[in-house]
């Protein structure tokens, strides 16, 4: 009897394959060994010819040692939290690559002395919002709020409207986050209406830390509603911290309802907090902009060290602020006619290959818990739902969205140069689906 288990090549023999030896230098020996072990197991189970073990191991190697798989976002959700929110610009990717080794992040190369960490990125942020007296950058938007609450209101009260006690997503509730710092929340007003007088009545000198205005990014309240503006709150004598969330620095006609850092500061906010990886289109980061004295208090607080950003983030943030338009910006402004043209071309090529596909008008959204009212007219390929899994598990994963029982692929957030990869993934998925599930 010819037992295939006997003929499965030994690990050291497989690892001697030059392709795997090269990959071990690039990805690490553990990753390559795991791929070899998996291929050997398949051969032992009779799923693979023993001679094919090395080929199968090569095919299964990850593209990088990072573990995170690059994905094509065909969901039509520009800032998709599960897909890492903003896709970085080429400029930001290059900046990360360049900063990955040793850099002058805290060294002035001219004087040879220690320098403020990330000073050029901080300057770029200040230049982008001249209304800010000073700026600081932390790990994410939530960290910016925690730092503000800890440095300015620990053991004291944060005055906040009952209409702004929001949950951001994945169980992250702003009130709980703020209370975890040792600050107490002083809730004022009602869910639908809060006035400046409500805030004024709650102010207790010696107990009040600051007034917090939170932008309810991911929902809207309609009907009998009212809120106090930053302009009305600024004269009340307490610092006003405006959490705008989205990271829009300056007004954008496409997003008229989104608050901006510049406008909030002009209206009298003492501090603005925002995320770097939402509408700004940059890396995950928390931006703090505003009054120089308050920013300095945050920067000098011991907790600031625990929330400090990495050199890679600083590099990507600066490139985002000073570089060309971001993929987020481009996706939000994608011309519907161009999108239709690309989608039609893809539909035609798939239909020629016998795929059951239609072109439909659809709607894309901003996502990332922002601008819930904004609908972006879009076009999509509609495929039978069973394609969803095949596309997610393709060598180049493509993630679409399921709507009314169909899988929709919206090319808005797919770089145009990657349209061919989407088409190839659909064809590969079609080839793996049983005929009846392709319809």
Q: Which stretch binds ligand PLP (CB under 6 A): 184-192, 211-219, 223-231, 353-361?
A: 211-219
> Which residue, 50 or 84, has its beta carbon nearer to ligand PLP?
84
Please report how close the Cβ of residue 221 comes to ligand PLP at its closest, in angstroms.
15
Q: Which residues in 217-246 contact ligand PLP (CB under 6 A)?
A: 217, 243, 245
Q: Within 10 Å of residue 94's Cβ, how many Cβ atoms? A: 15
Rounded CA-CA distance 173/154 in Å is 18
Q: H helices of 45-160, where?
A: 53-60, 90-99, 119-128, 141-153
Please report how close the Cβ of residue 159 comes to ligand PLP at its closest, in angstroms.
17
Please report how close the Cβ of residue 246 comes to ligand PLP at its closest, in angstroms.
6
In the numeric block, the tokens 């405006």 are attached to 242
Q: Does 142 bind ligand PLP (CB under 6 A)?
A: yes
Question: Would you call 320 helix, strand, or coil by DSSP?
Answer: helix
Q: Does 168 bind ligand PLP (CB under 6 A)?
A: yes
> Which residue, 245 or 384, has its beta carbon nearer to ligand PLP?
245
> Which residue, 367 or 390, has its beta carbon nearer to ligand PLP?
367
Please report how close the Cβ of residue 336 comes to ligand PLP at its closest, in angstroms.
27
Contact 410, 400 (CB under 8 A): yes
Q: Within 10 Å of residue 6's Cβ, how many Cβ atoms? A: 9
Q: Does 141 bind ligand PLP (CB under 6 A)?
A: yes
Q: Does 75 bind ligand PLP (CB under 6 A)?
A: no
Rounded CA-CA distance 40/50 in Å is 8
Residue 131 main-chain phi, psi, to 5 deg? -65, -15
Q: Using CB atoms within 10 A of its CB, is residue 300 exposed (0-12), middle (13-18) or buried (19+)?
A: exposed
Q: Tell which residue, 389, 380, 386, has the closest CA to residue 343.
A: 380
Q: Does 390 bind ligand PLP (CB under 6 A)?
A: no
Contact 160, 314 (CB under 8 A): no
Residue 1 CB partners (closer than 8 Å, separation 6+): none
Residue of 283, 323, 369, 390 interacting with ligand PLP (CB under 6 A) = 369
> Which residue, 275 or 380, has its beta carbon nearer to ligand PLP?
275
Residue of 89, 161, 275, 318 interacting with ligand PLP (CB under 6 A) = 275
| x-marked contacts with ligand PLP along 320-359 as a string, rule CB under 6 A | ----------------------------------------
Q: Does 287 bind ligand PLP (CB under 6 A)?
A: no
**Cα torsion through 408, 416, 392, 33, rounded to 10:** 180
Q: Does 258 bind ligand PLP (CB under 6 A)?
A: no
> Which residue, 215 or 311, has its beta carbon nearer to ligand PLP?
215
The packing angle between helices 336-352 and 419-432, to 10°, is 30
> Which residue, 169 or 377, has its beta carbon nearer to ligand PLP?
169
In 163-246, where do the E strands start and end? 167-169, 172-173, 184-188, 208-214, 240-245
Q: Which stretch binds ligand PLP (CB under 6 A): 140-148, 223-231, 315-323, 397-405?
A: 140-148
Give the residues lining the site for ligand PLP (CB under 6 A): 140-142, 168, 214-215, 217, 243, 245, 275, 286, 369
């Amino acid at each position: 009897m010819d037992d295939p288990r006997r003929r499965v090549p030994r690990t050291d023999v497989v690892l001697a394959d030059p392709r795997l030896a090269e990959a071990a230098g690039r990805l690490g020996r553990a990753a390559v060994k795991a791929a070899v072990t998996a291929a050997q197991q398949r051969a032992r189970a009779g799923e693979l010819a023993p001679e094919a073990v090395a080929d199968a191991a090569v095919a299964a190697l990850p593209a990088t040692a990072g573990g995170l798989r690059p994905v094509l976002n065909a969901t039509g959700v520009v800032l998709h939290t599960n897909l890492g929110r903003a896709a970085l610009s080429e400029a930001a990717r290059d900046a990360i690559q360049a900063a990955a080794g040793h850099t002058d992040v805290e060294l002035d190369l001219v004087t040879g002395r220690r320098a403020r960490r990330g000073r050029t990125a901080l300057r770029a942020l200040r230049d982008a919002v001249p209304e800010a007296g000073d700026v600081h950058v932390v790990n994410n938007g939530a960290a910016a709020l925690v730092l503000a609450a800890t440095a300015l209101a620990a053991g004291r009260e944060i005055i906040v409207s009952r209409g702004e006690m929001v949950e951001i997503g994945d169980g992250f509730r702003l009130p709980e986050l703020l209370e975890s710092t040792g600050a107490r929340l002083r809730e004022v007003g009602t869910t639908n209406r809060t006035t400046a007088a409500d805030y004024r009545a709650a102010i207790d000198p010696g107990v009040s830390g600051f007034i917090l205005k939170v932008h309810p990014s991911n929902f809207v309240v309609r009907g009998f509603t009212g809120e106090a503006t930053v302009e009305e709150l600024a004269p009340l004598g307490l610092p006003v911290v405006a959490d705008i969330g989205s990271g829009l620095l300056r007004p954008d006609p496409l997003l008229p309802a989104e608050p901006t850092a510049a406008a909030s500061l002009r209206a009298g906010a003492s501090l603005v907090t925002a995320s770097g990886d939402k509408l700004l289109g940059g890396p995950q980061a928390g931006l703090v902009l505003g009054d120089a004295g308050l920013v300095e208090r945050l920067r000098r607080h011991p907790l600031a060290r625990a929330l400090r950003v990495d050199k890679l983030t600083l590099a990507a943030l600066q490139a985002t602020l000073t570089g060309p338009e971001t993929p987020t910006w481009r996706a939000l402004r994608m011309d519907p006619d161009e999108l239709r043209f690309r989608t039609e071309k893809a539909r035609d090529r798939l239909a020629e290959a016998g795929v059951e596909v239609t072109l439909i008008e659809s709607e894309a959204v901003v996502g990332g818990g922002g601008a819930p009212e904004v609908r972006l007219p879009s076009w999509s390929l509609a495929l039978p739902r069973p394609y969803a899994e095949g596309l997610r598990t393709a060598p180049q994963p493509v993630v679409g969205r399921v709507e009314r029982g169909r899988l929709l692929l919206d090319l808005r957030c797919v770089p145009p140069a990657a349209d061919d990869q989407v088409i190839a993934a659909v064809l590969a998925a079609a080839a793996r689906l049983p005929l009846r599930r392709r319809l």
